[in-house]
Amino acid sequence: AQKITQTQPGMFVQEKEAVTLDCTYDTSDQSYGLFWYKQPSSGEMIFLIYQGSYDEQNATEGRYSLNFQKARKSANLVISASQLGDSAMYFCAMDSGGGADGLTFGKGTHLIIQP
């Protein structure tokens, strides 16, 4: 069974600062994928970034990067130069790599960016 742990229920960050959202995972699979989603107050689930278990380089997508430390089983999301619009719930998730069995989610981190 897969498990995702997000230990920060809520975070307050000043605008323009960098933010790190923590995520640790547990799985017995050798092949897996790690995902981050953003959920603004409007409720939709927005895909941010993906990291495969065999990817040697950390994934980056614009202001988002994923700090992947395989030995520590961590997949932290880093948001550079935070903006007010980054205020939202953030979910870390993983799958077994095959696309069939779905995603396992963490409980989420509520990020609030302060001006």
Among 7, 12, 98, 114, binds other proteins (CB under 8 A): 98
Considering the complex, what minimum distance in angstroms separates the CB of residue 63 from other proteins? 20
Do residues 114 and 15 lie in contact, with contact meaning Cβ atoms separated by under 8 Å?
A: yes
Do residues 58 and 76 lie in contact, with contact meaning Cβ atoms separated by under 8 Å?
A: no
Among 57, 71, 85, 99, binds other proteins (CB under 8 A): 99
Q: State both tokens at 88.
A: 């939202």
Among 18, 45, 81, 84, binds other proteins (CB under 8 A): 45
Q: What is the total residue count of the chain?
A: 115
Tell me which residues in 8-37 interact with other proteins (CB under 8 A).
33, 35
| Radius of gyration (C-alpha) of the chain in whole angstroms | 14
Kindly state whether residue 40 participates in binding other proteins, applying the rule CB under 8 A: no
Indicate the SS3 state at residue 79. strand
Kindly state whether residue 91 participates in binding other proteins, applying the rule CB under 8 A: yes
Contact segment (CB under 8 A) with other proteins among 15-23, 62-70, 71-79, 87-95 equals 87-95
What does the DSSP assignment read for 40-75?
-TT---EEEEEEETT--SPPEETTEEEEEETTTTEE
Q: Which residues bind to other proteins, rule: CB under 8 A?
A: 4, 6, 33, 35, 43-45, 47, 50, 52, 91, 93, 95, 97-108
